[in-house]
Every structure is written in C-alpha cells, then in structure tokens.
Amino acid sequence: MKKIVLSSLVFINMSMGASFDDISIGDTYYINNFGDNNDFVIVVEKRNDGTIKVKDGYGTPKIVYPSKLLTKSELDEEEFGNRVLGWGLALGIIGCYANGDCGN
C-alpha cells in the first residue's frame, strides 16, 4: 500500500509557473497558493529584483515570484493533479487499514 501512496505523489507538477522573461505587463495569471487559486491577477510591473507586481480583481497590489503565477490551463492541470493526489492518498490509507498493512 505504501507504493500506491508514494506513486500518487508523482502527479505533483513542480515545473509549473511562469518564466520572468515570458511575462508581459497586462497579462492575466492565477497565483499558485495552497487551497483556493481561483482569483486572477493582472501583471502591472516587472521589477528589477526578479519579482512581479500584480493586482487582484479588487485592485490590491501584491509582489510575487514568477514561479507562483499560473496560466488558466496550468491552474486547471494543477487542480486536476491535486484531486488525483487526494484520491490516491485517501485510497492508499483506506487500503492500508483494510489490509492491516499500515504498520509495515
């Protein structure tokens, strides 16, 4: 059962996120946060320190690293991967307890 749980971790895509060079002023992204990622932001400035200044739908500015910015398609892929991971972990834990294999 440990193999099932560990193999479900493969679905996490650590390579997602925008490249500083590919970001343009006015682009729309989603911030990659744990939990709710549904709030879009608009790029307002590329800063010399490699960070990006964005504003959310309410006009609130934030400074983020480019790797935290996802396109809509990347956001959808990440959310799908999170669901698969969640189900994989849940099934692994249920299977572990069902087989009495959790202590091994």
Q: How far apart are CA 43 and CA 18, in angstroms?
A: 12
Give percent of the chain above pLDDT 90: 30
Provide the token pair at 11: 């679905």
Which pTM was predicted?
Answer: 0.60
Mean pLDDT of 38-53: 91
Mean pLDDT of 75-101: 76
| Helix and strand totals (H; E) in the chain | 2, 5
Closest by Cα among 75, 56, 74 to 64:
56
Provide the token pair at 44: 């307002």
- In degrees and rounded to multiples of 5, residue 17 shows phi and psi of 125, 150
Q: Which residue has the higher pLDDT, 14 or 97?
A: 97
Q: Sorting pLDDT into bands at 50, 70 and 90, what band is 5? A: very low
Hey, what amino acid is at 31? I
